[in-house]
Amino acid sequence: MLETGVTTKTDREMEDTMLAVADDPERVEVLAKARRFKQSWIALGEALSAVYERESWVHWGYASFEEYCRKELHLKKATVAKLLGSFRFLQTRAPRILERAEAEPSAHVPSLAAVDFVARAADRGAVDGDTMAEIERAAFDEGADAPLLSRRFKQVAFPVDEGERIDKLRGQITSAARRLAALIAEPDAPIRHDVAVAVEESLGLLLDTLDATN
């Protein structure tokens, strides 16, 4: 798939489609940009945005934009959402990046993952203006990629609600305890009977305690 590198089969299918629709320049152009996705996600994001706004997929015979992206461009729905969201974010918050990419095709541009991180941080609205400007500067001017952005800013940009964290942990413990209890109850479990009984009693007490604190 395109997200991790186009497979030979997929690339061949897309090339065959390009030949079959050679009389439709817009359709061929989007296909070509999808094949070059790893090198130029901005170009693909721009093309997809135009296709979406013009509803070009309708006269190409697809029932929806999502179906067109999935079947013709071999793009997952989540990837398309990132492409459109990140491109539109740059249009409004950092048009200089788009201008630079157009003027200098070989110039470094932030990765899709980096722009997606910045866009989600802005949507979350958990940081003040100065911190948001620092995040954008790191991604757009310093070239920080998503892993570095996450290490530097995840805790402030995406703070975890303490109640949600406790609920998630409780659910994980409950699931693990029930799974362990089911395994111990297997007839051929390689555990002494007295040990199995003791563990089952402890798991029962653990689950009762978790239910009581829920």
In the 3-class helix/strand/coil scheme, how is 50-80 assigned residue by residue? Answer: HHHHHCCCHHHCCCCHHHHHHHCCCCCHHHH
Rounding to the nearest 10 degrees, give the CA dihedral for residues 45, 53, 132, 116: -40
Return the domain boundaries, the chain: 2-88, 110-157, 162-212
Angstrom distance (rounded) from CA 15 to CA 31: 8
Of residues 149, 87, 141, 160, the one with CA closest to residue 117: 149
Of residues 132, 130, 113, 114, the one with CA closest to residue 122: 132
Widest Cα–Cα separation across the chain = 77
Residue 200, CA atoms < 13 Å, CB-side half-sphere: 14
pLDDT, one tens digit per residue, over 33-43 is: 887 775 579 98
- For the record, the structure tokens of 9 come out as 């089969």
> Three-state DSSP class for 108?
coil
pTM above 0.75, yes or no: no
Angstrom distance (rounded) from CA 109 to CA 112: 9
Angstrom distance (rounded) from CA 115 to CA 110: 6
Sequence-ordered list of residues with C-beta below 8 angstroms from that of 52, at least 6 positions apart, any chain: 65, 84
Q: Could you say which residues of the chain have pLDDT below 70?
A: 1-8, 38-39, 105-106, 162, 214
Confidence (pLDDT) at 167: 83
Confidence (pLDDT) at 128: 92
